[in-house]
Structure 1
Amino acid sequence: MPLPRARLAFVLVTALLGLGAGPLSGEPSPTPPSAVLPRLVSEGHAPAAAMLSVSPSASQFQAAGSGIRRADRFRAGSVTKTFVATVVLQLAAEGRLHLDDPVGRHLPGTVPPRAGRTVTLRALLTHTSGLPDYTTGSSLHTASAPTAREAVRRALATRAYGPPGHYRYANTNYVLLGLVIERVTGRPYAVEAGRRVIDRLRLTGTSFPGARTTLPPPHGRAYDAAGRDVTALDPRTAWAAGELISTMDDLNRFYAALLSGRLLPPPQLRQLLDTRPANGRYAMGVYPRRLSCGTTVWGHNGHITGSYVRTATTSDGRRTVTFRVNTNAVPLGTLRTLEPALLEAEFCRTNRLSP
């Protein structure tokens, strides 16, 4: 039985605390993905785990446990940030905004005056703004959780700011970028991302739900850490920081297109992959991971109630992999071990077997 809307919003907020945690570290594994996936079920307590890998010559879907099909829609959490960053960089390429614009130029009155003058769009994109994360703290733990916009306004007015210029992941940054897109284009950020990315790439399983609590069919079930069915959720607390719904095929197609240059001109693609502002930890809506075989893969993760997903692709977009579980119950320590093992198994084994 679906949870009431107010409780669903609360559950979603608690998951957003760990949404998009960033790169995970761990020991590389020479084992194939088929040997790692079952460990997400046996050690990670996931009802099911699945992986879809795509190369120029083939695609392969693998699953462990039961409850995930290749065509299923699911909540992709902070993968939303890559879509938002792509639209912002497209607008920069068109000259409709500049990455060094202060936030206050586009959102006057939204942030305190000093931050409005000094925090740039580049700092929002790279999580170096120092702005407080609206998903942390007790103010969201109410009977009816606020929307992302309301929660961001409250956090900016009441919480301590960190030092600017230092990497600190904050969902606030991407809610503000969603608002910037709306101010610059005159359209909802989801409409703009749909027009510029989803429709262009024909991502037929990808959508922004808005206030819709249900997943479009086909979909499986999603479970929280207590084993409760949380397939239906109010996504408004996540908004531009994490509301995306997608499929494994669509995420692979999106990241492959992005890294291969189909969505951004070369100057903006270089900016997308520039990790210098965040000291190598994050770029703009994507982050790198260098594998033991010398390959660097780019992508993002998404961690939201009922779901964890990770997509990674080579710098040319030719090899891409997405894996997911249908719960947020997998312990972080287990993810720190098994996520790198899956990436190593997929990209490094493939490299060794290639001519």
Structure 2
Amino acid sequence: MTAGVAQASPSDLQRDLDAIRDSGAVGVQARLVSPGKESVGSSGTSVRGHHVPVPTNGHFRIGSDTKTFAATVLLQLVAQGRISLDDSVEKWLPNLVQGNGNDGNLITVRNLLQHTSGIYDYPHTAEIEMQTEAGFRKHQFKRMAPEKVVELSVAHPPVFAPGSKWEYSNVNYIIAGMIIEKVTGRSWRDEVRDRIIRPLGMHDTTLPGDSPFLPWPHAEGYTLTGTGAFRSTEVSLGWGGAAAEIVSTTKDLGKFWRALLGGKLLPAAQLAEMKTTDPRGLYDGYGLGVLRHVTNCGIVTWFHDGGTPGFATGGAVTDDGRTSVIVSLSNDGKIKDQMAAKTRLVDNAICRSR
């Protein structure tokens, strides 16, 4: 443990971590940062069937939390006057979203970021297949250009007219990453590194592209099934791009979220746009790459949960950006009891810190 970091055990944080373990999680780590205080803890094991403590500085795939990084870059470009949220997909990526009832002229950048585009989500189909070991092996080392991912999505009719409904769709953010590249002339990865990761000193955050490996240290990742589990640590997610690719730690991820809500990454106008939610979305509303969640003690928080083969990420940051809690489970599989225990840890950590 590093100097100045408060030991979580036998604190309330540790008890909540143990509750997540007891709910069936293989391993879990968490970090709570509030003004003048930092607490870390872990529970469970890094290696299923063995007693190997989960490292509290362990790397993990943050999954859909990547979307917030992409949304932040696009909103920075809006602030610079280089793009508008009301621009159409067709304006920036001609002919990409056309056919089978799809029309990029009718889909705006805002629709993409807020999941109101109506575009069929091919990545979700693959995600469901990967919940079985056979499906995981099929897609484990997938290599696919973003244009191909969009092509496979647009091969289906839209699930609704743009703006008429809300439905989560990973392909929205794959397209968003492509728009970043078109606007800047650089990859979305380079823009995220230069605009967010390097300025904030997020030294343990990486964009691995197609590499299936995690930096050390890390817990092993597992996918839970109805009859057991299989190891799913190594997986290529470069094809998920701006929707799911980033690898980070609880320390770095908390640093990002506190900077974002603290106004260090976006001007006030663009941060307000990001926090303008669609009530049809998840939790208490979905903004532009962020989820609004009101804790059980009434505190408004923001975050973006993430899940990939082997890992599930949760957390919250207060509206003023002063307090954050980040949780990483070293398994995926949407087990209801685990998700409920994770939410209790997040709520308790935020409520007890005030």
TM-score by length of 1: 0.85
**AA matched with 1:61:** V
Q: Partner residue of 1:15?
A: none
2:256 & 2:85 partners in 1: Cα distance? 23
CA contact (8 A) 2:299 2:318 kept: yes
CA contact (8 A) 2:26 2:331 kept: yes
**AA matched with 1:47:** V
- Counterpart among 81, 98, 104 of residue 90 in structure 2: 104
- Counterpart among 291, 305, 315 of residue 311 in structure 1: 315
Q: Partner residue of 2:49?
A: none
Say yes or no: does 1:41 pair with 2:21.
Answer: yes
**AA matched with 1:147:** M
2:121 & 2:152 partners in 1: Cα distance? 11
What displacement does 1:168 show? 0.6
What displacement does 1:344 show? 2.1
**CA distance change for structure 1 residues 96 and 138 in 2, over 3 Å: closer, same or farther?**
closer
Where in structure 2 are the equivalents of 1:237-248 lying within 5 Å?
A: 237-248=239-250
Q: Partner residue of 2:4?
A: none
2:263 & 2:321 partners in 1: Cα distance? 8
RMSD over equivalenced CA pairs, Å: 2.1
1:301 & 1:154 partners in 2: Cα distance? 25
2:126 & 2:265 partners in 1: Cα distance? 39
CA contact (8 A) 1:126 1:278 kept: no
Q: Partner residue of 2:57?
A: 71
Q: Partner residue of 2:182?
A: 183
Give 3-state SS (helix, strand or coil) of 1:97's partner: coil
- Counterpart among 229, 251, 267 of residue 227 in structure 1: 229
Q: Partner residue of 1:6?
A: none
Q: Partner residue of 1:341?
A: 344
Percent identity over paired residues:
34
1:138 & 1:214 partners in 2: Cα distance? 20
Q: Deviations over 1:180-236 (max 9, x none)?
A: 001111111101110000001010010111111111222231112243322211112
- Counterpart among 275, 278, 301 of residue 277 in structure 2: 275
**CA distance change for structure 1 residues 138 and 230 in 2, over 3 Å: closer, same or farther?**
closer
**AA matched with 1:314:** T
Using the TM superposition, name which of 292-301 and 342-351 deviates more.
342-351
CA contact (8 A) 1:106 1:180 kept: yes
- Counterpart among 286, 301, 304 of residue 300 in structure 1: 304
- Counterpart among 97, 112, 115 of residue 124 in structure 1: 112
Q: Which runs of 5+ in 1 are unaligned?
A: 1-30
Q: Partner residue of 1:32?
A: 12
Give 3-state SS (helix, strand or coil) of 2:353's partner: helix
1:278 & 1:98 partners in 2: Cα distance? 23
Higher relative contact order (CA 8 A, sep 6+): 1
TM-score by length of 2: 0.85
Q: Partner residue of 2:327?
A: 323
**Aligned residue pairs, count:** 319
Q: Partner residue of 1:156?
A: 154
CA contact (8 A) 2:34 2:353 kept: no
